[in-house]
């Protein structure tokens, strides 16, 4: 079982994002771009997923309105079996106020997660 927590401290947001993204060099291998995600997290809402005391991943969200969040960045550490956690993480943060979520890049840019 995992726990979703909102991170409110700017330094802690950046530390969480850095820890996860450094575990994913295949996706975040350009240092300048990775640093931009890390620094940008301080101005966004950041939700983390923990299993016991182990950080599983995070999602950083920007809000265009009270009811609509856009995913800025999402990372799940490589050691975590993804299929088990994706739906639960998405569902849990939706319970906390966002009605829909969307990934604004790539082939699925118009897809909405249920």
Burial bucket for residue 27 (CB in 10 Å: 0-12, 13-18, 19+): exposed
Q: Looking at residue 61, what is its pLDDT?
A: 95
Q: Looking at residue 91, what is its pLDDT?
A: 52
The DSSP line for 61-109 is EEEEETTEEEEEEEEE-TTS-HHHHHHHHHHHHHHTT-SEEE--SSTTT
12 is written with which tokens? 């802690």
- As a whole number of angstroms, the distance between CA 111 and CA 48 comes to 23
* pLDDT one digit per residue (tens) for the chain, 114 residues: 789 999 999 999 999 999 999 999 999 989 999 999 999 999 999 999 999 899 999 999 999 898 899 999 999 998 755 545 455 555 555 555 554 444 444 444 443 443
Cβ neighbour number for residue 21 with a 10 Å cutoff: 22
Q: Are 18 and 40 in contact (CB under 8 A)?
A: no
Q: Looking at residue 40, what is its pLDDT?
A: 96
| Overall pTM surpassing 0.85 (yes/no) | no
4 is written with which tokens? 């979703």
Q: Looking at residue 96, what is its pLDDT?
A: 57
């Amino acid at each position: 079982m995992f726990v979703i927590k909102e991170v409110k401290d700017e330094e802690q947001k950046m530390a969480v994002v850095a820890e996860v993204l450094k575990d994913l060099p295949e996706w975040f291998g350009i240092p300048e771009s990775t640093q931009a995600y890390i620094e940008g997290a301080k101005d966004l809402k950041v939700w983390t997923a923990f299993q016991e005391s182990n950080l599983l991943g995070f999602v950083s969200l920007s809000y265009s309105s009270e009811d609509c969040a856009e995913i800025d960045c999402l990372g799940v550490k490589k050691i975590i079996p993804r299929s088990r956690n994706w739906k639960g993480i998405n569902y849990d943060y939706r319970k906390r106020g966002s009605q829909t979520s969307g990934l604004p890049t790539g082939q699925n840019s118009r897809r909405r997660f249920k």
